Structures are given as structure tokens and as C-alpha cells.
DNA sequence: CGCTTTTGACCGGCGC
DNA sequence: GCGCCGGTCAAAAGCG
């Protein structure tokens, strides 16, 4: 049976925008060994070359699969958003539309001219229906300041302020969807005037890495460890990530068992 | 001890 | 003026 190797690139660069960047294998690390200057001149036998080219092919296939999955994910997301939007438009009678406009205008008790509608964003998040917490993970830190049961929805609505308040004016409301228990609706008002927690970590470490690299000519493997630890800590707090990781591992194990049988 | 969450009270807008 | 409703406040409780 052929040993498979999987490269888990966690997208550590928040500024990378293309999928190609996203799935590019982690860059190589150069080590200097003063005691043995000839360590790079070791003979490489044919088996090693075969192994390397096989793994390279597998990596290429995995990369193609990732690109395919990413495309499908994007098109599905767009489709779901469109369906939800269509449904909302259909359901809102003229009376309800008027009510919604009133709510939008009275949001945060500010005059309309100070509250551009474009500053209000609505985000739908799929969660476990049995999970009754009104928490939407978006990379920012929030402080809950209220909870209310509203007239049109038996599920309570939670009110959050950005933990950087009053420096950051962003607020959000989170409420379970009336139609779907497994759907949380988060309404954001305003724009953050600071980075998210995730961006802070990656930006700080990227700076640290840059300084270290420019000083020594090489970057320290220790920095990679720190970075990976930070990322792991962050991602492990995300139940979606952990469940999807578990599913991916299960799938991979089943796949390997299948090859064993073959 | 400091920060966050909970929860009842309070406020202001709106319709009748 | 009154009641309803969404949004906010603030004291108490919880937690690390």
C-alpha cells in the first residue's frame, strides 16, 4: 500500500487572496549545520527519487481536489445566499417591509442620516440545532450586553458590543432563524476600526518572522512552532473546525481502509 | 480581582 | 396618554 502524505496549509497569510496561494505547499526551511558542511551532498538513491516524485504527484492531485472542492463550496454558498434572499423577498408583505424599514431606522437609536443602510450586514451561520448558545464566531471579541425575546420569534435575541468599545463602535445582534433552528442570523452595524484577534496574531507573528529573517538570513523553526501552536489554539476553539477536521480524518481513514482491502 | 454574562428595570419611538 | 416593543443599562452573579 502506498503511504499518503497530506500537507495541511492553514492559510497563515491573511492577505493572500487566491486559492493558489492558499494551497501552495509550506515553504522550505533551510538549516545550517556547522559541524557537517557536506550534509547536503548525500547521495540520493533511485528509491528516494521515486518516492519523492510519487508524493509530488499525490500532492498535485490533492491540490486539484482542493481547488475543485473550493469551487463547489463557493458556488453552493452563493446559491444558498440567493435562495435565502429570494425567500425573504417573497415572505415580506408590504406591511412587513414597512416594519423592517422602521426597525432599520430605529437601530441603535441614531438618526437615519448617521446610519447608512450599507453599514448593516446580515450573516447567516449554520450551527447545531441542539446548541442553544447564540454565539457566532467571526474572529472578533464581543461583550454581550443584553438579551431579549422579540415578538416575531420565540428564540431570544442577543446583543453584543465589540470588546474594543467605545473605541470600536461595532455592534451585533444574534438570533436563531424562525424557520430553521440550525441557522443563526447575525446582524452587524458599523465597521471595525481595528484588526480581528486572528489577524492580530498572524500580523504580529509575521512581523516577528520578518525581523528574525532579515537579521539572520533564515527564519527560526521555533517561530513556526509558535505560529502553529497559536493557530491550533485558535482553531480548536472553533467547533465547526473541529467537527470538520474529525469528519475529514474519518473520511481519510475509511479511504485508507478501502485501499487496504483492494 | 477583573472581566463577562445574566436578567430585570428602564427608556424612547410609535401606533392607537 | 397609554400600551407595546426593541434596545440599552446596570447590579448581581459567575468564572478563571
Place of cell 493557530: A231
Q: A208 and A241 in contact (C-beta within 8 Å)?
A: no
Query: Which grid cell sits at A34?
Result: 556547522
Is strand B in 7 Å reach of the CB of A109?
A: yes
Whether the beta carbon of A150 falls within 7 A of nucleic chain B: the reply is no
Strand nucleotide closest to residue A98 (CA to C1'):
B14
State pLDDT tens for residues A206-217: 565 555 555 544
Alpha-carbon distance values, A34 to A31, A37, A39 (Å)? 10, 6, 10
Q: Which nucleotides of C are covered by protein (CB under 7 A)?
A: 4-10
C-alpha cell at A56: 509530488
The string of pLDDT tens digits covering residues A85-131 is: 665 555 544 433 333 433 343 333 333 333 444 567 888 888 877 77
Helix, strand or coil, per DSSP, at residue A128: coil
Spatial distance from the CA of A166 to the C1' of B16 (Å): 38
Q: Alpha helices of A113-194 — where are they, by DSSP H?
A: none
Q: In Å, what is the separation between the CA of A48 and the C1' of C4?
A: 77
CA of A151 to C1' of C3 (A): 15
> Does the pTM exceed 0.85?
no
Amino acid at each position: 500500500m502506498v503511504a499518503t502524505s497530506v500537507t495541511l496549509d492553514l492559510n497563515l497569510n491573511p492577505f493572500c487572496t487566491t486559492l493558489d496561494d492558499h494551497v501552495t505547499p509550506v515553504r522550505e526551511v533551510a538549516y545550517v549545520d556547522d559541524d557537517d558542511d557536506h550534509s547536503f551532498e548525500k547521495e540520493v538513491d533511485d528509491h528516494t527519487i521515486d518516492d519523492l516524485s510519487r508524493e509530488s504527484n499525490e500532492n498535485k492531485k490533492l491540490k486539484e481536489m482542493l481547488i475543485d472542492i473550493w469551487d463547489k463550496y463557493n458556488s453552493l454558498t452563493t446559491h444558498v445566499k440567493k435562495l435565502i434572499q429570494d425567500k425573504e423577498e417573497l415572505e415580506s408583505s408590504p406591511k412587513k417591509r414597512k416594519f423592517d424599514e422602521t426597525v432599520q431606522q430605529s437601530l441603535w437609536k441614531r438618526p437615519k442620516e448617521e446610519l447608512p443602510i450599507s453599514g448593516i450586514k446580515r450573516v447567516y451561520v449554520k450551527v447545531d440545532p441542539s446548541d442553544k448558545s447564540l454565539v457566532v464566531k467571526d474572529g472578533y471579541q464581543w461583550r454581550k450586553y443584553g438579551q431579549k425575546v422579540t415578538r416575531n420569534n420565540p428564540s431570544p435575541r442577543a446583543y453584543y458590543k465589540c470588546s474594543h468599545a467605545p473605541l470600536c463602535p461595532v455592534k451585533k445582534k444574534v438570533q436563531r432563524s424562525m424557520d430553521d433552528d440550525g441557522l443563526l442570523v447575525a446582524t452587524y452595524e458599523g465597521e471595525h476600526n481595528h484588526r480581528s484577534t486572528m489577524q492580530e496574531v498572524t500580523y504580529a507573528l509575521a512581523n516577528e518572522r520578518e525581523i528574525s529573517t532579515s537579521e539572520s538570513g533564515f527564519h527560526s523553526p521555533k517561530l513556526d512552532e509558535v505560529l502553529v501552536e497559536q493557530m491550533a489554539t485558535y482553531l480548536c476553539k472553533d467547533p465547526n473546525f473541529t467537527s470538520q477536521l474529525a469528519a475529514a480524518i474519518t473520511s481519510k481513514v475509511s479511504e485508507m481502509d478501502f485501499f487496504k482491502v483492494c
